[in-house]
Chains A and B, each alone.
Chain A
Amino acid sequence: MSAPHHDDAAAHIERDTLATLAAPGWRYWLLLLVMVGLVACGGVAWTLMLRRGLGLTGLNAPVMWGSLITSFVFFIGISHSGTLVSAILYFTRSPLRPAIGRSAEAMTVIAIMTAGLYPLIHMGRPWFAFWLLPYPNQRGLWPNFHSPLVWDIFAVCCYCTISALFLYMGMLPDLSLLSPRMGRWRRVLYKVLSLGFAGTDGEWSLLEKAYPIFAGVAIPLAVSVHSVVSWDFAMTLMPGWHSTIFAPYFVAGAIFSGLAMAIVLLALLRRTQRLERYIRADHFDVMAKLLLAMSLVMSFVYVTEFASAVLRGSAAERAIFVWRATGRYALIYWLVVVCNCLVPLFALSGRVRRSLPWMVAISVAVLVGMWFERFMIAVSLAHTFDPFSWGAYVPTLTEVFLCLGGFGWFGMLFLLFIKIFPCLSVTETLEGARVQAEHPRLVPAPEQEAAHA
């Protein structure tokens, strides 16, 4: 490796990363304004709900879980992929990681923060949320550790903490590296957050030892968190919910929706931050293949779930699956099938996989499909054992605004993150550039990749 080549690569990487932190253009501001607007809508809806109660929602007996819990499960699913994919890419030493790892990890943390809002909103009286925490109190009451809802709190909180630390740990060298090149307030912020990291041999060795331990902790936690969320449903005796397939089904669905969201966010980053050199078409190609594989897994799960209920299930179980496909919410059911099982099949074409607009369109369809899939599961409460108690659920405008507010909150935090912190891992990209210089066949240079495309 020649010194000038290394210097060129390092200069490029630093320049491009610093450019992502520069003053944003009007498209960014417009997008941020839209997100803030959605947050404001959600805020108004929640304020109204706090004043007038849960009656403003469409929740009723028997459908006591509606769009709010749907959004909770959806955002937990979105959070699933980031840390999990980043940790797996780390262990496999994938050249994809420097490009997508940071944004995926940030997506995880922001998605959990968004997901956490929904149970609080759904509670109706969020100021009593602390009752769920185990602490000595005058009431002499403790949370019931046999309940999946309590497991859920622990799983989500632990996953949030570990994901945030995983993201932060990976950013330490970059914060230290970039701090002197920043403006006033960011220089101070980066210096404080870098915790004095100086790049000594001891620190790098510690980081290289600590990082795989963290990745090793994050992977089982990621799998556990969505399994636990699925048990919120599966531990009940409701037909359509009480199934052993729920945990792997939810985990697969979470990876599926998380990948779709990662594709949308990376496409956004690539376009708005001018990161074409780093987030390349071959990265989208790999993620599209993963998305396709997960779509096939989901299709298999849908067929298995349906077949085992209809062929071997109880009368109530059979009834609910037939009702999903033919009843009041049949349109949603078939929308889910089209979005999650059929639309991703377009990614069988190599041209589609390498086309950004196509992949964004497919990913948006998958996100829509996955949100409605969670919705379909929640509204199954409308058709349980006793025909006398069958009912219906339609989200009210308040719930629609709360849902949109959640998406706005997620988008707003992500947009702020990419302007406050480096969305590329500078040190890992530097290492990638070194590997590329030493083994040009192993990692294609952007020029080679463009020629190939």
Chain B
Amino acid sequence: MPEDRLWIARYDDPDRAAAALRTLANLHVLGVRVVSPAAYPAVHLTGHPGPWRLMGWLALVGGLVGLATAIALEVGTSMALPLDVGGKPVVAWIPYGVVMFELTMLGAGATNFVALVVLAGVSRRRIPKAALGTVRSDRLTIVVPAVGTADRLGAIRAALAGAIHVEGAS
């Protein structure tokens, strides 16, 4: 029978899950993950170094791409078809400002959404399928790597004592 490499603990109370996570943090257990049906505070106790720090930067890059697209479109099309209206300049930055603003915001927003979808897919990796169904229940699930000496495993198992159910996964 293969040895369990992960423990999946299910909780019906977010506070008990948070208490378990604090105990695990005190034991310096690394790689703990949480799956939950809502963004309870327990979710933020894992300290999982996720890719979400990139989000703001990606939105900024998207916004700059949108801005560049707007400038290229407006200047390029004005030069391709120069409309001389009453001697006013063909390339005029103030009226271009509106479309530049709109496309900057669109670029930032659309990039933000695409980044969310892609990075969410990345963050789901290495979580067993048995734990991923949690969002469809009212439970919280803590996934803990079961690695270490027998004493340490005992301490980790004790930290999960408040769970309504603990199962192993390989």
Compute how far the CA of A75 lies from the CA of B16 in the bound complex, rounded to whole angstroms.
Answer: 49
Compute how far the CA of A140 lies from the CA of B81 in the bound complex, rounded to whole angstroms.
Answer: 7
Given contacts A3-B13, A177-B135, A202-B51, contact A431 B39 (CB under 8 A): yes
Return chain B residues, CB-CB under 8 Å to A199.
Answer: 35-38, 134-135
Return chain A residues, CB-CB under 8 Å to B38.
Answer: 173, 199, 427-428, 430-431, 434
Return chain B residues, CB-CB under 8 Å to A357.
Answer: none
Partner of A145, one of B44, B55, B77, B117: B77
Judging by beta carbons under 8 Å apart, are B98 and A228 in contact?
yes
Compute how far the CA of A168 lies from the CA of B122 in the bound complex, rounded to whole angstroms.
Answer: 20
Judging by beta carbons under 8 Å apart, are B12 and A7 in contact?
yes
Chain B interface size range: 35 or more
Task: Please give me the residue from chain A that is nearest to B92 by CB atom.
Answer: A146
Instruction: How many A-B residue pairs have C-beta atoms within 8 angstroms? Tell me.
Output: 196
* Residues of A69-103 contacting chain B, CB below 8 A: none
**Does A206 sit within 8 A of B, measured CB to CB?**
yes
* Residues of B50-83 contacting chain A, CB below 8 A: 50-53, 55-56, 59, 73-74, 77-78, 80-81, 83
Given contacts A145-B95, A224-B98, contact A209 B55 (CB under 8 A): yes
Which of these binds chain A: B1-9, B22-30, B100-108, B148-156?
B100-108
Return chain B residues, CB-CB under 8 Å to A198.
Answer: 35, 124, 127, 132-135
Judging by beta carbons under 8 Å apart, are A161 and B112 in contact?
no
Which of these binds chain B: A213-221, A263-271, A387-395?
A213-221
Judging by beta carbons under 8 Å apart, are A3 and B33 in contact?
no
Task: Please give me the residue from chain A that is nearest to B59 by CB atom.
Answer: A213
Compute how far the CA of A224 lies from the CA of B38 in the bound complex, rounded to whole angstroms.
Answer: 33
Q: What's the least CB distance linking A133 to chain B, in Å?
A: 11
Judging by beta carbons under 8 Å apart, are B50 and A179 in contact?
no
Judging by beta carbons under 8 Å apart, are A180 and B136 in contact?
yes
Given contacts A7-B138, A158-B102, contact A1 B56 (CB under 8 A): no
Judging by beta carbons under 8 Å apart, are B109 and A214 in contact?
yes
Q: What's the least CB distance linking A190 to chain B, in Å?
A: 10
Judging by beta carbons under 8 Å apart, are B99 and A154 in contact?
yes
Compute how far the CA of A430 lies from the CA of B112 in the bound complex, rounded to whole angstroms.
Answer: 25
Compute how far the CA of A177 lies from the CA of B16 in the bound complex, rounded to whole angstroms.
Answer: 22
Judging by beta carbons under 8 Å apart, are B99 and A150 in contact?
yes
Compute how far the CA of A203 lies from the CA of B120 in the bound complex, rounded to whole angstroms.
Answer: 5
Compute how far the CA of A197 lies from the CA of B48 in the bound complex, rounded to whole angstroms.
Answer: 18
Q: What's the least CB distance linking B3 to chain A, in Å?
A: 24
* Residues of A1-24 contacting chain B, CB below 8 A: 1-3, 6-7, 10-11, 14
Return chain B residues, CB-CB under 8 Å to A151.
Answer: 95, 98-99, 102
Return chain A residues, CB-CB under 8 Å to B133.
Answer: 198
**Does A29 sit within 8 A of B, measured CB to CB?**
no
Compute how far the CA of A11 lies from the CA of B137 in the bound complex, rounded to whole angstroms.
Answer: 10
Judging by beta carbons under 8 Å apart, are B113 and A177 in contact?
no
Judging by beta carbons under 8 Å apart, are A210 and B99 in contact?
no
Contact with B along A158-170 (1 / 0, CB 8 A): 1001100110110
Return chain A residues, CB-CB under 8 Å to B138.
Answer: 7, 10-11, 14
Judging by beta carbons under 8 Å apart, are A142 and B55 in contact?
no
Partner of B110, one of A146, A161, A207, A224: A161
Return chain A residues, CB-CB under 8 Å to B134.
Answer: 198-199
Judging by beta carbons under 8 Å apart, are A6 and B48 in contact?
no
Judging by beta carbons under 8 Å apart, are A213 and B43 in contact?
no
Return chain A residues, CB-CB under 8 Å to B16.
Answer: 3
Compute how far the CA of A206 lies from the CA of B110 in the bound complex, rounded to whole angstroms.
Answer: 15
**Does B158 sit within 8 A of A, measured CB to CB?**
no
**Does A144 sit within 8 A of B, measured CB to CB?**
yes
Q: What's the least CB distance linking B95 to chain A, in Å?
A: 4
Compute how far the CA of A146 lies from the CA of B85 in the bound complex, rounded to whole angstroms.
Answer: 10
Between-chain CB contacts (< 8 Å), 27 pairs: A1-B15, A11-B138, A143-B77, A155-B98, A158-B102, A162-B109, A169-B116, A177-B136, A181-B136, A198-B124, A198-B127, A198-B135, A199-B135, A200-B127, A201-B36, A201-B44, A202-B33, A202-B48, A202-B52, A204-B36, A207-B116, A209-B56, A217-B59, A217-B105, A224-B101, A427-B37, A430-B37
Given contacts A145-B95, A199-B37, 17 further A-B contacts (CB under 8 A): A1-B13, A1-B14, A3-B13, A140-B80, A146-B95, A151-B95, A151-B99, A161-B109, A165-B109, A176-B135, A180-B136, A200-B33, A206-B51, A210-B55, A220-B101, A431-B38, A431-B40
User: What 10 A-B pairs come out closest when comparing CB atoms?
Assistant: A202-B123, A199-B135, A3-B13, A142-B77, A151-B98, A202-B50, A198-B132, A204-B39, A209-B52, A210-B116
